[in-house]
Amino acid sequence: MRQAAFRARPKRRQPPKDQGTRSVIAANVLEREFDAEGPNQKWVADFTYVWMAEGWLYVAAVIDLFSRRVVGWSMSDAMTFQMVTDALIMAIWRRGRPRELLHHSDQGSQYTSEPFQRLVADHGITCSMSRSGNVWDNAAMESFFSSLKTERVRRKTYRTRKQARADVFDYIERFYNPKRRHATIGYLSPVTFEERAMKA
């Protein structure tokens, strides 16, 4: 190159591209206070994954800490902000647009994304997030996913996402919410606990 009088052209640095999702990290407002005096005061959220022959299925869920009821959920073949947004939208729709609500999650990019944070802000929800790398800050959510995998997923071999989706749905809506008993709510199921609370 020297003999031919050639010189390497330096690569131009490009400014970072705006992906349309700005990260917003919230403080840990929940502070491991996993009890609630009434419904729709404290929700915790996260997502997990289920393996099958076709690959991964991701399962997002929202739990009301008052009764440990799964009030919203969503499933997808990709870890997107839309998946966690859909789970929260279901919870809001089911619970009648609750006021003075705290929503707690980890600092995953799905929860810190601009679209998810806009949904939270539009509904007047206070956002809380676990400290970085601290799974105990969302222990109630981890407990649910542990139950899902121990009691159902690990006992099954799923060939397709359709089969896995149907079984996860069955676990949440036909077993966990209406039948599974919890020590934290007097060994009642979430649905039974809420029904008794409404009559009290």
Residue spans of beta strands (DSSP E) within 79-125: 102-105
pLDDT tens-place string over residues 138-154: 999 999 999 999 999 99
Whether 176 contacts 153, CB under 8 Å: no
Q: Is 176 helix (H, G, I), strand (E, B) or coil?
A: helix
Go through 111-142 and write b for each residue having 16 or more CB atoms within 10 A of its CB, e for each that does not: bbbebbbebbeeeebbbbbbeeeeeebbebbe
pLDDT tens-place string over residues 80-131: 999 999 999 999 999 998 999 999 999 999 999 999 999 999 999 999 999 9
Domains of the chain: 42-199 (3.30.420.10)
Q: What is the pTM of this model?
A: 0.87
Mean pLDDT of the chain: 90
pLDDT tens-place string over residues 166-177: 999 999 999 999
